[in-house]
Structure 1
């Protein structure tokens, strides 16, 4: 039976007030955000709307903190994880983040999803000197300790991922023509910019690029246009649901370019299975976390622990959804930071510990993928590897890549 003390305060009421057990205390002492028994952590996640495929990140994180609380918490304190729904809307994300800070008085923000909402709140969060840690977004701007010393990313940057694809294309398909199908927002632009940077003078290989909106229900016309360009390589950068549409359309029109799929959409559950697993064979992407469906990890102790965790704390979760591994790994990283805090949970010490991670490796990271931070390095994960889908799992291509990260965003 699960403990009566729960960390989970996932709120999916789209802005409705949440009743917290410590509300009366908070009203009497509004600046108290950590006590001898509790640490308040705030999070915003798209539980509904167009980006709801990523909701499992927040649900996994909440379940992880349930597990930690059941085991006694962190240095004697239980986690109160307050997670609000942003309805896949950046303005709502900003409103919910302000609520976490101004009303719920969280000690820190952790793992909030998305780029626009987090960017909009970044100046406010830094003015208030509140840690904004391990944002679930690969925007290169999260690594700016000089101007925003309280904001830190976690995953590899979208721009660096674009450079990895550029390196791969130059090595494997140096004479091939490239088309790009990208989401018309900062997320899409970042990866496209990294691709162009990585290609350098060879950017002329890009003979066509077309955008789409993440709310599009059909992208047939865009895919058809890219096919007519004569491109032999197609790079997709967008949300999983649209990636599924693209893969299906390519199969329908019998177009089979080399297909490179952004890491954020490399979910078997949310992109490849809806597209048809047989249609997805050969898709290439990047990875920095273990694939739970890969038989290579069936005897791996860490993945056995993860599977047991899912069974007990998140039984409704889909183990083929890579976002559950993502949420688990991110929560593990925050747990490490808070453990290092000892009994000093000042915001200054939290940032001190977050910026002093040395060769830390999540239990579910791929071998060779480690986290290093410093007061001048706010890019925790700077390594990835190329992978290719074989119809059931992602198989590695080559070794871990980190040279692509030695660019403008580091």
Structure 2
């Protein structure tokens, strides 16, 4: 009887020891914060489906479709993505309301690619105090790259300030005695560009910039501003406007037969949302800088990444206008989000998601230009810091020159 008990005790001891050996690994493998579990990951989003920036609404629709494709393929590490997206009409008070709803009522794991500089500025402190990732914000304001003061916020696209510096260098090279008219949205988005131009123009800014004119997003038309700027005799027009207003500017300039060198922010380069409504002839010759492939451009016909993108559109967004750059943007952002979740493995804590987002190395979403990759670090929260200059010709954007990296000052 004693030997039987000894055997039983020995077996129990061995089993317990084995369990102890296993358990730290088993428990270390699965860690969850609010919004994540064995079967799903809740991702929140706030988008301008209505209002003055509604041209961007298709970004949210593209991301929703991309996550549906991922779910159909079995999800991320076996977990389905539950994507909850609300409309804020590009109105900061509404953004606050919808973001609170996502975090406090829907209990999302993180908020992903929410749109707009003024709107996301309204919730940045709130999300950081709640320690809920404000991840891959859909705005190029340079303020999102501040890991020291805002460790829970990260942008996605190249910063406006970086792009403006590239524009300024281009102007100095091509037109050293330029008369520059700067037209900008009166918020952080517009002011970032103005600051970037002046970073490079330096002491020459006072003599080269002949006019600085701002507009409000609540204005129905910006025609009067364009008439005023033409009157300054400027031969370079730097156009820092969101799609609706960029299209109005191009149209009005054509009506006035004003043909300065026209540099336009890359947030408004969508052929479908800007160039076509403004008129393709009127848009001819406009300059910008880009980092995304254009799905309507035949040069990418044999590109593997573009083939994947077009197959996705055919299946999940049939009839979508592939000439709209917002689709390739939403696809790249969603692909990057999935990459971060893959890197998280079974440690789905908010802290780990920020750690993985800050350790992306040469990640190349399929719709980014060849040679442009995503790189982040704990001290650098700017995922994309490379661009190429381009010009609108015969209904499409033509790239020219080399890829310019912000890290080498453009």
Question: Scaled by the length of structure 1, what TM-score is found?
Answer: 0.90
- Structure 1 runs of 4+ with >6 Å offset: none
What SS is found at the alignment partner of 2:272?
helix
- Compare 67-76 and 220-229 and name the one that shifted more: 220-229
1:111-150 superposed Cα distances (whole Å, 9 cap, x missing partner):
0001122222112211221111100011111011111111
Whole-angstrom CA distance in 2 between matches of 1:229 and 1:141: 32
The structure whose residues are more often helix, as a share, is 2
Whole-angstrom CA distance in 2 between matches of 1:378 and 1:160: 14
Whole-angstrom CA distance in 2 between matches of 1:316 and 1:55: 16
What SS is found at the alignment partner of 1:44?
strand
In structure 1, runs of 5+ residues without a counterpart are 1-30
2:340 counterpart of 1:313: no
Question: Which residue does 1:207 correspond to in 2?
Answer: 210
2:334 counterpart of 1:331: yes
Aligned pair partner of 2:42 in 40, 49, 53: 40
In structure 2, runs of 5+ residues without a counterpart are 1-32
Q: CA deviation at 1:90?
A: 1.1
Q: Is contact 2:291-2:369 (8 Å) kept?
A: yes
Whole-angstrom CA distance in 2 between matches of 1:206 and 1:405: 25
Alignment CA distance shift 1:51-1:405 (3 Å):
farther
1:159-208 superposed Cα distances (whole Å, 9 cap, x missing partner):
11111100110111111211111111221111111111121122120111
Q: CA deviation at 1:214?
A: 2.1
Whole-angstrom CA distance in 2 between matches of 1:86 and 1:398: 39
Q: CA deviation at 1:391?
A: 2.3
Instruction: Give the root-mean-square deviation of aligned CA atoms.
Output: 1.5
Q: Is contact 1:109-1:130 (8 Å) kept?
A: yes
Whole-angstrom CA distance in 2 between matches of 1:127 and 1:176: 46
Q: CA deviation at 1:216?
A: 2.4
Question: Which residue does 1:124 correspond to in 2?
Answer: 126
Q: Is contact 1:160-1:404 (8 Å) kept?
A: no
Q: Is contact 1:293-1:392 (8 Å) kept?
A: no
Q: Is contact 2:90-2:119 (8 Å) kept?
A: no
2:373 counterpart of 1:386: no
Question: Scaled by the length of structure 2, what TM-score is found?
Answer: 0.90
* Higher alpha-carbon Rg: 2
1:9-408 mapped onto 2 (5 Å cutoff) = 32-203=34-205, 204-403=207-406, 406=409
Q: Is contact 1:214-1:238 (8 Å) kept?
A: no
Q: CA deviation at 1:406?
A: 4.2
Whole-angstrom CA distance in 2 between matches of 1:35 and 1:174: 58
Q: Is contact 2:42-2:110 (8 Å) kept?
A: yes
